[in-house]
Amino acid sequence: MNMAFENFREPEQFEIIFDKESGLEAVIAIHSTSLGPAAGGCRFWTYDDIEAAKIDAFRLAEGMSFKNALAGLPLGGGKAVIRKPARDFHRDTLFRAFGRAVARLEGRYVTAEDVGTSVADMLVVSQETKNVAGLPTQDLKPGGDPSPWTARGVFLSIESSVRRRLGRELRDCVVGIQGLGHVGFSLAKMLHDAGARLVVADISAERADRAAVELGATVSSADEILSAEIDVFAPCALGAVLSDKTIGTIRAKVICGAANNQLATDEDGLRLANRDILYAPDYVVNAGGIINVAAEYLGWTSEQAKALVEATALRLNQIYDLAEASGAATHEAANRAAKAIITSRRETSMVA
Ligand code: NAD
């Protein structure tokens, strides 16, 4: 292994925050600032202990470095995770305390929404720090909920992957979506408008039923959707759904969705390649949200952000081409390309 890539997952810096008064228990992981301030959302989720939260934060932060590098953003990668308190808590007090923790990092980390957090939470965070994006937008400027932008990038990626792997258009395909939250439901609407038939699953029966009523989707169970008779599987819930236990049962020929860290391990990417399933690396296709966040933070126009999101399928096809040319699995090709961008910048700044 190239020495520069060893221990790549280890972050440059991490902070563990305990704030007794608010009940905040959080981890902020700054994976890399080689390309700019470490940017990545804040997850609010149930973790068994702070160690589990730390492992998740490290993995997600590395993914953000790769995502931002391949999207061509002048940003490094970071992530925050907050443990959902087991006891009663005051949400605004908790997010104010989190905002103070972000402020103490003096711009090395920029936060935004992720699973379990909302525009309202980021507004609270903004009372303590300016290093936050995903705030309400005005005058058509980038900002607000990043998920429709994420959904758009995933939609374009599915459309392109289906053409590449199956030689078909979306109107001739069945797409299975696991998770109908902010991104998943938006994506379902786009696919429906393009004529695709949908099979959906969500642990919330209400969300699945809404897709059935509004989009004519067939409802499956959260587990069975993996082995359903579908052409494309779009994971849009949580990570690690592609594992040694699930991959053998998958019938879809394309996997392309929004969820972060879909592969339980790197070996699972090889398992998919060996089964001739085209896997669209998650952080390549789900960059639309962070592009919108970056545009807001860096003061870009909506047109600049839109152009980068619309180019998502182009970037994905470059990764597919690299994988084909080198005989690597698609996730390996993406990892290599991202690491090369980050490492070359790191080496350039060391020389300078
Ligand atoms: P969300 O919390 O709004 O939605 C997640 C949905 O998944 C919920 O409806 C939930 O009920 C459902 N769900 C949870 N476990 C499930 C299971 N086992 N089976 C089926 N459904 C299940 O989150 P979101 O913002 O839509 O994000 C979805 C995924 O995409 C996450 O992995 C997130 O990290 C990733 N992502 C989101 C964005 C964004 O812009 N929001 C950007 C990049 C990546």
The DSSP code for 113 is B
Pair of tokens at residue 175:
């797409």
Q: Which ligand 1 atom sits nearest the alpha carbon of residue 43?
A: 34
- Ligand 1 within 6 A of 183 CB? yes
Instruction: Output phi, psi for 342, to 5 deg.
Output: -65, -45
Cα 229–Cα 246–Cα 337 angle in degrees, nearest 5: 100
- Ligand 1 within 6 A of 181 CB? yes
Q: What's the confidence (pLDDT) of residue 349?
A: 56
How many residues are recorded in the chain? 352
Question: Which residue among the candidates 67, 79, 253, 339 is catalytic per the annotation?
Answer: 79
Q: What's the confidence (pLDDT) of residue 3?
A: 33
Q: What's the confidence (pLDDT) of residue 352?
A: 43
- Ligand 1 within 6 A of 342 CB? no
Claim: this prediction has a pTM higher than 0.85: yes
Strands 232-235 and 254-255: parallel
3-state SS class at 44: strand
Task: Ligand 1 pocket test: pick from 64, 226, 236, 309 the residue with the most ligand atoms within 8 Å of its Cβ.
Answer: 236
Q: Which ligand 1 atom sits nearest the alpha carbon of residue 180?
A: 9
**Residue 34 CB partners (closer than 8 Å, separation 6+):** 76, 342, 343, 345, 346, 349
Q: What's the confidence (pLDDT) of residue 238?
A: 83
What is the rounded distance in angstroms from the CA atom of residue 237 to the CA atom of residue 257? 9
Residue spans of beta strands (DSSP E) within 89-196:
109-110, 174-178
| Catalytic residue check, 339 | no
Picking from 17, 35, 9, the residue whose alpha carbon sits closest to that of residue 298 is: 35
What is the rounded distance in angstroms from the CA atom of residue 144 to the CA atom of residue 276? 38
Q: What's the confidence (pLDDT) of residue 346?
A: 63
Cα 119–Cα 120–Cα 121 angle in degrees, nearest 5: 90
- Ligand 1 within 6 A of 132 CB? no
Q: What is the mean pLDDT of each run of 10 residues along the chain (352 residues)?
A: 48 96 97 97 96 94 96 97 95 98 98 93 98 87 90 98 98 98 97 98 97 98 94 94 96 97 95 98 97 94 95 98 98 97 72 46
List, as one string, the DSSP characters of 267-312: HHHHHHHHTT-EE--HHHHTTHHHHHHHHHHHT--HHHHHHHHHTH
What is the rounded distance in angstroms from the CA atom of residue 103 to the CA atom of residue 299? 20
